[in-house]
Structure 1
Amino acid sequence: MNFSTYTKEFSYNLKLAYPVILGMLGHTLIGIVDKLMVGKLGSAELAAVSLGNSFIFIAVSIGIGFSTAITPIVAEADAEKDVLKVRSAFHHGLFLCTILGLSLFTMVYFSKPLMYAMGQSDEVIQLALPYLDWVAFSLIPVVVYQGYKQFADGLSMTKYSMYAIVLSNIIHVPINYVLIYGIWIFPKMGIVGAAMGTVISRMAMVIFMHIILSKNEQLKTYFKGFSFDEIKKSMLKKIINLGLPSSMQMLFEVALFTSAVWLCGSIGKTSQAANEIALSLATLTFMFAMGLSVTAMIRVSNQKGLNDYKNLIVVARSIFLLAIILEVVFALMFIVFHRWLPHFFLNMDNEMQLLDNAEVIIIAAKLLLVAAVFQISDGIQVVVLGALRGLQDVKIPMYITFVAYWIIGFPVSFYLGKYTQLKAVGVWIGLLAGLTAAAIFLYLRFNKLTQKMVAENRDLTTAEKEL
């Protein structure tokens, strides 16, 4: 196949992906706004938000990873024109997401004492504790929202989540501003104000998502007459069997990045603040690959439902190629602007913070150079993972991601960060090693599975002709 075979798919891929990308960028923007506003208070406050969010980051990854089980089931059923199966996947998925959201909030709320065992400074911990109390509650609306989002995505209605996130940001920014800095009648609450702003905006996001989906004429059949009598063990089991390995895949990656937060925090607060800046920027560009990952999951599921495995491979590879092109562009941007970008996150007018800020900028600039390379690997692994979820292949990828991130990536991060002069840069070289290993082995898995499917389908067609 020539290059144009894949590039002709770019237009439809982007049509599906761009609302997801904008929605995810908006979701990430909520965290970045917190960091930008909190960063003006000082490097200790920024480090505290980083520490608190490391707990949230892990919990959210479990929730998002689990909820992705809804999309391939809905997308495959949609291709098969099976309305009852779509309805069942939506109701069971939303039910499980609600239970999971409550469980994750409880887990994070009672895990706060772990901060003292992580080698973080007392100043940072004391600031992080009240922040985490509030932001942990936002896990409930976030995971419930994911249930709605994955359902809509499975029906290729990717714009709805984008609208919800836009609304969330419109609410979040002004609330954050007045609560953090104490504007007008509002008290100055610092980083606790940032957490409260996050809770309010995420609750609004769920309410909006329910209203906009339930009012859609095409979707009304999925919202009418819900009863707990409809909850069946077979569909619960199917979603859990797909959702648990998917949540573990995401957890292994997010936990690796969280370990980078903790490792950098044990090196020093300037390393932790620099890590947070570089991670925020890398996460922002990663959202483009995440959007394409969702597109891969939807389109591969559709082709699987149609039993068109040859076109499935073409569609998937076109998305892989598009992701590589985008990530290379972002890599070049990071290289060109690596010294300039960290300034956005710090108050350079505060004379008392000048020394700390100068050190943070030097470290963050070096980390962005590593990020320029690793985001290419990160982009590849996440879109291939999306395609594998579309095939409903989740268990072997779960083992692959564990080995890549925790047998390869973390030991490199730990050794280079703690026992060499590379310090924070060494931690990020470990991230690069883990992501690259994941990208290679996940693609090999996808290639093996799809070639096998094509061969089996060809043999079946031949047998049918002979009969």
Structure 2
Amino acid sequence: MDEVRHSLGVSLAIAVSMGLLFFVPNFLFPESVMSMFTTDVKVIELGITYSRIVAFTYIFIAITFAYAGASRSIERARMPMYASSIALILNTILSYILIYGVFIFPSLGLKGAAIAILISRFVEMTILISIIYTTKSILVAPIKVLFQFSKALFIKMFRLIIPIVLGDGLWILGTTACLAIYTHMGTDVGAAVHISNTIQNLFLIIFFGIASACGVMVGKSIGERDYDKTFLYPKKNIVLTITLAIISGVILILVSPFIVRLFQPSAIVYDYSIKILIVIGLGLFIRMYNLVIFDGIIKSGGDAIYSLILSSATIWLVGVPLVYIGAFVWKLPIYLVILLAHVEELVQAIITFRRFLSKKWIHNFVK
């Protein structure tokens, strides 16, 4: 029991430290951070506002990451799944309210999207910790107990956690850059992108559940040294994920005209939104495959360095450059720019599938 708690303490120490590492530059020097990736003044201006607000989420994400990982390690994957599902729904609702100024709230645009993310991440963290404490989980322990870990345990977990946290942080920065580019393409484009993201989030909950459950089974089977199960169970989940994602993509495309109308957009925003959602629906099986195989399988298998290299390389060497070129060089319409963004997902899918088949992602750190 103490070993589990000490592992949680190490995770909290490392994750929060890394969260602060991302928080400080994004909150205090957002212009310098954005200037590393683009020289466009308007993109930088939009990114500064967004980054300063979203910077706080790095701390919330870090704490959630530690408690969610610990929950899965004791086969309580439902706790983080419930928290993330509620947060996803809340983010969808708040994005709609704050971006477009529903009820008594003003229309805040990109700033509203950032606030929605901030609130939903805080709620996710709060719900997860509340569930852990109200259910009297073995993870409940005084701060002193959590941080009474050995140097050997810290070093072992440091090598595993740091690459994952770094990779996730760089990926978030990349998606922030892409969002800033979309918004800079025009007010109508920005509105359409936010509507599309809000709608697609409703279709993601089930896949977060699959990834979470798959991660638990992978970790458990590796601990039992049942490597045949470690490979076969995820294989079945990949087939399930792709099948459900294809069905979900078709449903998304079919219902999108009706859901988009609920936002009461202008004719041009409506047209953009429908076309974006068609692209998203067609590529949903690739994105959800990546979600499950990357977050639920490869990371859970302990392939930390590989996950860092892959997640940061694909977003910054493929995703962001293609989005930038499509928007500002080729001057493509937004739905084609979104299509270019999916090239990153395709590249990642091909690479991760080869890695999965090689079984090199399976690492047993328990000796």
TM-score w.r.t. the length of structure 2 is 0.78
1:398 aligned to 274, 291, 308, which one?
308
Q: Deviations over 1:412-453 (max 9, x none)?
A: 333333333533123212222110111111011111126999
Q: 2:307 and 2:51 mapped to 1: Cα distance?
A: 32
Residue 282 of structure 2: aligned partner: 373
Q: Aligned partners of 1:167, 1:377: CA distance in 2, in Å?
A: 24
Deviation at 1:310, TM superposition (A): 1.1
Matched, 1:106 2:48: no
Give a deviation string over 1:88-107, Cα, whole Å, max 9, x none.
21111122333344444433
Q: Kindly tell me: are residues 397 and 104 of structure 1, through their superposed partners in 2, closer, same or farther at Cα, counting changes over 3 Å?
A: closer
TM-superposed CA distance for 1:163, in Å, is: 5.3
- Aligned match of 1:416 in 304, 322, 326? 326
Identity across matched positions, percent: 17
Structure 2 partner of 1:33: none
The aligned amino acid for 1:334 is: L
Partner of 2:71: 152
Return the letter of the residue paired with 1:319.
N
- Check conservation: 2:75, 2:216, Cα contact below 8 A: yes
More RCO (CA 8 Å, sep 6+): 1
CA distance in 2, matches of 1:448, 1:266: 42
Which stretch has the larger CA shift, 207-216 or 149-158?
207-216
Q: Secondary structure at the match of 2:271?
A: helix
Partner in structure 2 of residue 342 of structure 1: 260
Q: What secondary structure is seen at the aligned counterpart in 2 of 1:226?
A: helix
Indicate whether 1:299 and 2:208 are aligned.
no
Q: Secondary structure at the match of 1:108?
A: helix
- C-alpha contact 2:193 2:273 (8 A) present in aligned 1: yes
Q: Partner residue of 1:264?
A: 182
Q: CA deviation at 1:327?
A: 0.7
In 1, the alpha carbon distance for the partners of 2:186 and 2:89 equals 35
Of residues 156-165 and 235-244 in structure 1, the stretch that sits farther from structure 2 once superposed is 156-165
Kindly indicate whether the alpha-carbon contact (under 8 Å) linking 1:261 and 1:276 is maintained by their aligned counterparts in 2: no
- C-alpha distance in 2 between matches for 1:270 and 1:410: 21
Structure 2 unpaired stretches of 5+? none
Supply the distance in 1 between the matched residues of 2:236 and 2:151 (Cα, whole angstroms). Answer: 37
Give, in whole Å, the separation in 1 of the partners of 2:291 and 2:116.
Answer: 30
Aligned letter for 2:59?
I
Give the structure 2 partner of residue 68 of structure 1: none
Report Cα offsets for 1:198-219 as digits up to 9, x if no partner: 7677556545543442354551
436 and 304 in structure 1: CA distance in 2 versus 1, 3 angstrom threshold: same
- AA aligned to 2:132 is L
Q: What residue number does 1:232 align with?
A: 150
Shift of 1:371: 0.8
Distance 1:181 1:289 in 2: 29
Q: 1:167 to 1:402 in 2, by over 3 A?
A: closer
* 3-state SS, counterpart of residue 144 of structure 2: coil
Q: Residue 381 of structure 1: CA displacement?
A: 1.6
Output one character per residue of 1:92-147: Cα deviation in whole Å (capped at 9) or x when no partner.
1122333344444433321344679644389x859x84x86666445434432332
Q: For 1:396 and 1:319, how far apart are their aligned partners in 2?
A: 21
Superposed counterparts of 1:53-452, under 5 Å: 83-113=1-31, 118-120=40-42, 125=46, 129=49, 136-161=55-80, 164=83, 191=108, 206-217=125-136, 219=138, 223-224=141-142, 226-227=144-145, 230-251=148-169, 253-344=171-262, 346-348=263-265, 357-385=266-294, 386-420=296-330, 422-449=332-359
CA offsets 1:337-395 (integer angstroms, 9 cap, x no match): 34333333x345xxxxxxxx221111121111111122211111221112111220122
Distance 1:291 1:448, change over 3 A: same
Please say if residues 270 and 360 of structure 1, whose CA atoms lie closer than 8 Å, have aligned partners that are also in contact.
yes
The answer for the alignment partner of 1:3 in structure 2 is none
Aligned position for 1:15:
none
Change (3 A) 1:422 1:210: closer
Tell me how many residue pairs correspond in the alignment.
352
Q: Is the 8 A contact 2:8 2:146 kept in 1?
A: no
| Preserved contact between residue 134 and residue 195 of structure 1 (Cα < 8 Å) | yes
More helix by share: 1
- Give the letter aligned to residue 264 of structure 1: Y
Tell me, in whole angstroms, the C-alpha distance in 1 between the residues paired with 2:156 and 2:341: 32
Q: Partners in 2 of 1:194 and 1:411 — Cα distance? A: 23
Q: CA RMSD, aligned part only?
A: 3.8
Alignment partners' CA distance in 2, 1:283 and 1:153: 23
Q: Decide whether aligned partners of structure 1 residues 162 and 408 sit closer, same or farther in structure 2, where only a CA change above 3 A counts.
A: closer
